[in-house]
Amino acid sequence: MLGFALIWAFLILFVLFPLTRIFYDAFTNEAGQFTAANFHEFFTDRFYLRSFWQSMVLGAAAVVTTSVIGITVAFLIVRYEFPYRQLFSYLTMLPLILPPIVGVLGFVFILGRAGTLNILLQDWFGLVHPVNFMYGMHGVLLVETVHLFPMMTLSILDSLSKVDPSLEEAAQGVGAKGWRRFFTITLPLMTPGYVSGALLVFIWTFADFITPLVLGVQDLLAPQAYLNIMQFVDRRIFRMGIVISALLVVLAIFFVLAAREYVAIKDYSSLAYSRVERRRLSAGKAWLAVGFLSALMLVSAIPQVGVLLAAVGRGWSLTPIPVHYTWEFFEQVSIETPKFIVNSFVFCGLAVLMCLVIGVPMAWIMARTRAPGRGAMDALTTLILAIPGTAVGIAYIRAFNFPLPLIDLPLTGMWVILPLVLAVRRLPYTVRGSYSSLLLVHPSMEEAAANVGAGKLRTFRDITVPLVWKGILVGGLFSFITSLQEASATIFLTLGGWEMIPFGIFTFYIAGSQSQAAALGVILIAVCALSLYVVNRIAGTRVGGLFG
């Protein structure tokens, strides 16, 4: 009971309160009076309206592109057998590791106006004006697609392996073949997984401000929120930044409501697992699959290759690859890097710990009890999933910037705010991961323990935890990896001495050294890839299900 109250206290204090604060700010003026003028200004300003519209279009476009690629990849990997299938199932997850800022810079180094491809086109084919692959909405779409298609794959991988093949066989039996069978049987069955994947892709694209900014696209909502918030001198613009953040939250709520039927926790893992038999592809088709996946991996590797070249190249300009090579950038970042790495591991570790302490009991309450307010808990965690990190960061800095009683320090002045915000952001992953693991443990085991006199807590500790720890650990590690790369909420809250690796990349980039930023980016990629490898070793190849 106490635990239940503590969980709610946590959710109210660190989720609801900051979000309310953002709305308070959005509906008041500098003098603190209530006003709707801010929203009026937004909805009568052509530039903001265009940003709004373009954000929606971009999000929708990213859902389409990632769906096409993500579903194809998932189908190939789950349903078919072909050479190097195992290797590809690992490789196709790698694009998820795309360090902030330098990931998109990597694209620019290869595909920019002075990027490798354009220089080759100019040198070999006498092209005069560089082809604009990157600067504009199409460039943003390219980056988001490559980065996010694995998220789509992961989301449906789980549902796909849960779809009972006998249903599809039955469909085939009555004459539904190929696409028809796909649209009438397979697609509806994977809808829950697909919708939450689509929601994640949409929100992520919608909330990403770094990629558009590096590509010179400013007429989108997230970059406008960021740029305006960063404008403190002109208070009116600053206020508009808050208004846009509030709007992002409203939209997130709206989308979650719209997709409610599919993303609610009870719907998503109610189906039992069944063995999927992989069909062997004919030689020709098998090589087609390998060709497609190889081409995909080649495109996905562009940012990593670009970052690596920039990290070791000196004065790289207007040549396909750098002419001079050096370790100096690694040496320059190596002074501060150990601090960044330590901070990253400590903060992300603490965040995961908080996630476990709060999230696992939450999952247990939802899966095993009839406690009132379970629905609200589920709704709240789903909402966190959908709220852009930018908005969370802004909400925190606005809400917790008052001196706390007794210690006389604001929460924003204490480093613990970083693990806290990371924990809140990743809580849904832990809750959902633990929930799906719990569903696989039959309650009768716990009942048996209760029958022989074990209390609730003891049963949980001695029976439930040992049975589900693996799923929970994988969930935790996955949160850890994504936290390592987190740069949206934390950018607003970091103070000197608390820098994690992504913020370090950000400072080097702000200082103007793309090469140093790239060097640190390479280090982040290495750290994440290593963590991902560990996760894969522990989890086998099944990491699906975390996304619901």
Partner 1 sequence: MFRGWKLLLLALAVAGPAAAQEIENELVLITPVAKTLTDPTLADFVKYAKERWNVDVRASALAAGTPVAYGRIVEWKGRPEVDIFWGGESALFDKLAEQKLLQPLNLPKQVMDAIPATIGKPKPIYLKDPKGFWTGTVLEPYGLVYHPRLLQRLGVPEPKDWDDLLNPKLKGNVAQCAPSRSSSSHATYEVILQRDGDDKGWAWLKRLGGNTGMFTARSRDVPSVVAKGEFAAGFAVPSYMAFEDRLAGFDIKFVAPKTAWVTPEPIAILAGARHAKAARAFIEYLLTERGQKVAMERGVFPITPKYRVQGAPGSRAEMAVEFTGGLRSYFDVDVTNIYDDDMAQKRYEQVNERFRKEIESVWADLKRQP
Q: Whole-number minimum distance, CB 44 to partner 1, in Å? A: 13
Instruction: Give whichever of 132 and 369 is closer to partner 1, judged by the CB atom.
Output: 132
Taking the least distance from each CB to partner 1, the nearer of 238 and 469 is 238
Residue 328 CB contacts under 8 Å (≥ 6 apart), including other chains:
314
Give, in degrees to the nearest 5, the angle at Cα 450 between 447 and 451: 90
Q: Which is nearer to partner 1, 108 or 156 (CB)?
A: 108
Shortest Å, Cβ 514 to partner 1: 6
Residues contacting residue 302 through CB under 8 Å, at least 6 positions apart: 106, 107, 110, 111, 146
Least distance to partner 1, CB of residue 441, Å: 47
Of 83, 375, 403, 455, which lies in the binding site for partner 1, with binding defined by CB under 8 A? 403
Cβ proximity to partner 1, 338 vs 496, nearer residue: 496
Q: Which residues pair with 279 in a beta bridge?
A: 80
Nearer to partner 1, 260 or 314 (CB): 314
Q: From the CB of 45, what's the least distance to partner 1, in Å?
A: 9
- In degrees and rounded to multiples of 5, residue 280 shows phi and psi of -80, 130
Looking only at residues 188 through 247 of this chain, which bind partner 1 when binding is defined by CB under 8 A? 213-214, 216, 218, 223, 227, 230-234, 236-238
Q: Does 464 bind partner 1 (CB under 8 A)?
A: no
Q: How far is the CB of 253 from partner 1 (least distance, A)?
A: 27
If the CB atoms of residues 117 and 473 are measured against partner 1, the closer one turns out to be 117
**Following DSSP, what letter does each residue of 456-490 receive, concatenated?**
HHHHIIIIIHHHHHHHHHHHHHHHHHHHHH--TTG
Residue 309 vs residues 96, 115, 446, 512: alpha-carbon distances, Å: 20, 12, 55, 17
Task: Please give the Cα distance from 366 to 90 (Å, whole number).
Answer: 32
Q: Which is nearer to partner 1, 317 or 444 (CB)?
A: 317
Q: Which stretch binds partner 1 (CB under 8 A): 147-155, 251-259, 360-368, 492-500?
A: 492-500
**CA neighbours closer than 13 Å in the CB half-sphere of residue 463:** 22
Which residues are registered as beta bridge partners of 270?
none
Least spacing, CB of residue 499 vs partner 1, in Å:
10
- Smallest distance, partner 1 to C-beta of residue 240, A: 11
- Give the residue carrying structure tokens 């950038």: 329
DSSP three-state, residue 352: helix
Gap between the Cα atoms of 163 and 185, Å rounded: 9
Closer residue to partner 1 in complex, CB, 258/318: 318
- Residue 494 and residue 418 in contact, taking contact as beta carbons nearer than 8 Å: yes
Task: Report yes or no: 386 and 195 within 8 Å, Cβ to Cβ.
Answer: no
DSSP, collapsed to helix, strand or coil, labels residue 314 as: strand
According to DSSP H, which parts of 387-455 are helical? 389-399, 417-440, 443-451
Residue 108 binds to partner 1 (criterion: CB under 8 A):
yes
| Stretch 119-148 residues interacting with partner 1 (CB under 8 A) | 135
Which one, 236 or 470, has the nearer CB to partner 1? 236
Phi, psi for 28 (deg, rounded to 5): -125, 165
Closer residue to partner 1 (CB): 229 or 355? 229
Of the pair 13, 511, the CB lying nearest partner 1 is at 511
Give me the 291-330 binding string for partner 1, x by CB under 8 A, dash otherwise. -----------------------xxxxx-----x------
CB of 139 to partner 1, least distance (A): 11
Q: How far is the CB of 196 from partner 1 (least distance, A)?
A: 32
Q: Which long-range contacts (CB under 8 A, 24 or more apart) does 503-512 make?
A: 503/340, 504/333, 504/336, 504/337, 504/340, 505/99, 505/100, 505/101, 505/102, 506/100, 506/101, 508/333, 509/101, 509/102, 509/105
Minimum distance from CB of 444 to partner 1 (Å)? 55
If binding is defined by CB under 8 A, does position 413 make contact with partner 1? yes
Query: Cα dist. 333→327, 330, 488, 489, 509 in Å?
Result: 10, 5, 22, 23, 12
- Decide whether 311 or 528 has the Cβ nearer to partner 1: 311
Write down the least CB distance from residue 216 to partner 1, Å.
4
How big, in percent rounded to 5, are the helix, strand and coil portions of the chain?
75, 0, 25
What is the total count of residues that contact partner 1 (CB under 8 A)?
Answer: 43
Task: Pick out residues in 499-538 that bind partner 1 (CB under 8 A).
Answer: 507-508, 510-515
Cα-Cα-Cα-Cα dihedral of 16, 19, 20, 26, to 10°? Answer: -170
Query: With binding defined as CB under 8 A, does residue 24 bind partner 1?
Result: no
Interface residue with partner 1, options 112, 193, 419, 433 (CB under 8 A)? 112
Supply the minimum distance, in Å, between the C-beta of residue 523 and partner 1. Answer: 18
Q: Which of residues 333-372 bind partner 1 (CB under 8 A)?
A: none
DSSP class of 133: S
Interface residues for partner 1 in 40-69 (CB under 8 A)? 46-47, 50
Site residues for partner 1 per CB under 8 A: 46-47, 50, 108-109, 112-114, 135, 213-214, 216, 218, 223, 227, 230-234, 236-238, 314-318, 324, 401, 403, 413, 495-497, 507-508, 510-515
